Structure 1
Amino acid sequence: MDESMESKALSPLLRVLLLTVGVVAVSFSAIFIKWSDAPAGVLGMNRLLITMVLMLPWVWKRRSDWTTLSRKEWGWLILSGVFLGLHFWGWISSFRYTSVASSMVLLNTAPLFTALGAFLVFRQRFGHVALSGMGLALVGSVMVAGADLQVGKTAWIGDLLSAFGALSVAIHMLIGEQLRNKLSSTIYSFTVFGVASLLLMAINLADGVPLFDWPYREWGIFLLLSLVPTVFGHVLFNWLLKFVGAVTIETAILGEPVGAILLAFWLLGEPATTVQILGCALTIGGIAWYLRGQPDRVSQDAQGVRFRSTTPG
């Protein structure tokens, strides 16, 4: 993304367009993960490593950003990467124990964790329009993903893993929102991806699974995960943290099950139920209503509306 735009406010139309691109991109994650036979740690690690290689030319231009960080900010940056790695490990692992639908329901509690953290830690306030939109989108996403909830002997393990993934990504996004006041999105994304990939590598080594000895088909899936949901999803969302905030992004991601349902119908031939179609409409409407009540962060800063601190803690 163009770092020179970071001092300017985004128009409402551009905000919606970029958020939509990101949501569509991350919606491919579940499809690609279902296609793969690799364990969660390998999927997460290799998608991040490939993304880091792709980012190197832009990172080199912004390398001086690292020298501006204090020791405390380095600590928070590493912690953000740790929670991103835990998110990938927990959420991807959940697919081995439960259905995509069950996993998505619990993953979509992330906006609630994010909003609660933003209120408790940063004293961020939300108007009635934003809260009602978030609630409507959450109800819609539960209808979309919950229409095919799986009940089984091991399903509860997947449910816990997905909920853990939701809590982890919420913490990651809240830390990132504050660090993005200091760092470019390029350096922030590259660093947290590096920390997350190292964590996942350690998990893989502890589990005794091969790190790189995988068939060409799996490497094709790793590349797809890197290019689509990571570059056009996570990297884009990290850039948008400068403009719209963590809670807004997590609320927009409630649209991910909608995209996943449509992609599953298109790519996997899985039909959508009437409840899921209604849920899609509620989710899209709720996200649109939420965004209507939330100005971008650049506009808030211009009006003197800031969190109590520019770095967590």
Structure 2
Amino acid sequence: MASKKSLHLYICMFIGIIAISFSAIIVKWSEAPASILGMYRLLLTNLLLLPWMWSYREEWKAVRVNDWLRLAASGLFLGIHFLLWMESLRYTSVSSSTVILTLEPVLILIASYWLFQHRIKRSAIYGLGLALIGMVLIGWGDFQLSGQALYGDLLSVLGTIAVVIHMLLGQDLRSRVTSYVYNFSVFLVAGVSLAVYNLCAGIALGGYSSNEWLLFVLMAVIPTVLGHMLFNWLLKYLSATSISMSILGEPVGASLLAWILLGETLGTLQLFACVLLILGVWIFLRNDRPSTASHHAASQPISPQ
């Protein structure tokens, strides 16, 4: 019975990986500005979460003023992440953009070393070195293709830094704020922040085709609800290490989907660089102290892409 239950859980993890892999594909399909796509993804996700708000009324009341400020800051950086990462896909390939995002746990744990004195094993540092070499090679390969692709890679790197700040702000919050309250709050702030950005930039909030609205809904349902929220639920039953490793499945799934659905292909150098970066992150996660990774992953939700 136990093994059967474990099989079901890993099937759910596989579904989650496929779901988050569709995020980049949907961005590529959409012709709407990245800030519009990100805004409606977040706000529509909040709409889906709205029916459960009353059940958490006591948790809402218990949030302290300082925590509201931290939630607002975390949501702001999440909005910046969506803006930069989705925009990166207008310039570079799905593979390059999503592989660069796998640096997120590496950057988080490096920041944790400086902020919280979490030690990093030497073997994990070797993995970090491989990952950074892979990232440089991705940039070099894309630069050889076009300056635009390199610009897209830079946007993805900046988007990854933004989501790392979002996660670090959330790390302390999740010890006091429930997952529902945290997700709803930061999604709302991020969505409203993108709405303000769109208004200031003169980008129309409406007038999009029915096909675009369908893509907005799919972004909320597939990568967010069936992807990252499913991972948050799985944290109750699977180890944090297993969930952390699932982030390495996204660039693989996204690249395969991009090949099948978008006709994107990888050059030899790009393919080698992607494999090197993923291998480096895998080595890093495998050799980082379990207590650090477990505490971090269990204290906050998996960040959305």
**TM-score, length-normalised on structure 1?**
0.75
Tell me whether 1:73 sits opposite 2:67 in the alignment: yes
| Separation in 2, partners of 1:177, 1:133 | 24
The alpha carbon displacement at 1:107 in A equals 3.2
2:23 is the counterpart of 1:29: yes
Instruction: Quote the RMSD (CA, aligned, Å).
Output: 3.9
Pairing 1:192–2:191 present: no
How many Å separate the matches in 2 of 1:268 and 1:298?
35
Secondary structure of 1:62's aligned partner: helix
Instruction: Name 1:149's counterpart in structure 2.
Output: 142
Amino acid at match of 2:189: V
1:98 aligns with 2:92: yes
Q: Secondary structure at the match of 1:124?
A: coil
The counterpart of 1:62, out of the listed 41, 56, 67, is 56
**Residue 178 of structure 1: CA displacement?**
2.2
Q: CA deviation at 1:95?
A: 2.0
**Separation in structure 1 between the aligned mates of residue 127 and residue 187 of structure 2, nearest angstrom:** 31
Preserved CA contact (<8 Å) 1:138 1:254: no
Please state how far the C-alpha of 1:56 moved relative to its aligned partner. Answer: 1.4
Question: Which string of whole-angstrom CA distances, capped at 9 and with x for unpartnered residues, describes residues 162-191 of structure 1?
Answer: 221010111112222222111221111111
* Aligned residue type for 1:185: S
Give the gaps of 5 or more residues in structure 1.
1-10, 308-313
Amino acid at match of 2:197: I
Amino acid at match of 1:125: R
Bigger drift between 73-82 and 204-213 goes to: 204-213
What is residue 205 of structure 1 aligned with on the other side? 199
| Structure 1 match to 2:278 | 283
The equivalent residue for 1:183 is 177
Structure 2 unmatched runs, 5+:
300-305
Structure 1 residues 136 and 251, CA gap change in structure 2 (3 angstroms): farther
CA-to-aligned-CA distance 1:234-267 (integer Å, 9 cap, x gap): 334555678877x986664243211111112332
Q: Secondary structure, in 3 states, of the residue corresponding to 1:214?
A: coil
Pick from 27, 31, 37: which aligns with 1:43? 37
Deviates more, 1:147-156 or 1:285-294: 285-294
- Please identify which structure carries the higher helix content: 2
How far 1:212 moved relative to its partner?
2.9
Once the two structures are superposed, what CA deviation does each residue of 1:64-118 show, in whole Å capped at 9, x if it has no partner? 2122222111111111111100000011112223333443354343233212211
Give the equivalent residue in structure 2 for 1:82.
Answer: 76
Number of aligned residues = 291
Q: Distance in 2 between matches of 1:29 and 1:196?
A: 17
**What amino acid sits opposite 2:54 in the alignment?**
W
Confirm or deny that 1:223 pairs with 2:248.
Answer: no
Task: Give the aligned residue type for 2:106.
Answer: L
Asked whether the 8 Å contact 1:40–1:93 carries over to 2, the reply is: yes
User: After superposition, where does 1:247-262 map in structure 2 within 5 Å?
Assistant: 252-262=246-256
Contact 2:20–2:250 (Cα < 8 Å) also in 1: yes
Deviation at 1:138, TM superposition (A): 6.8
Give the Cα separation in 1 of the matches to 2:80 and 2:130. Answer: 28
2:302 — aligned with what?
none
Deviations 1:199-234 (A, max 9, x none): 000111112122132111001111111111111333
Deviations 1:40-68 (A, max 9, x none): 11000001111111111223211321222
Partner Cα separation in structure 2 for residue 99 and residue 264 of structure 1: 9
TM-score (norm 2): 0.77
Contact 1:141 1:255 in 2 (8 A): no
Give deviations 1:97-156, integer Å, cap 9, x for gaps: 33334433543432332122111112223445655566667777888x679625434444
Between the aligned partners of 1:79 and 1:268, the Cα distance in structure 2 is: 36
Question: 1: distance between equivalents of 2:295 and 2:78?
Answer: 27
**1:6 aligned partner:** none
Provide the identity percentage: 43
1:117 paired residue among 108, 111, 122 = 111
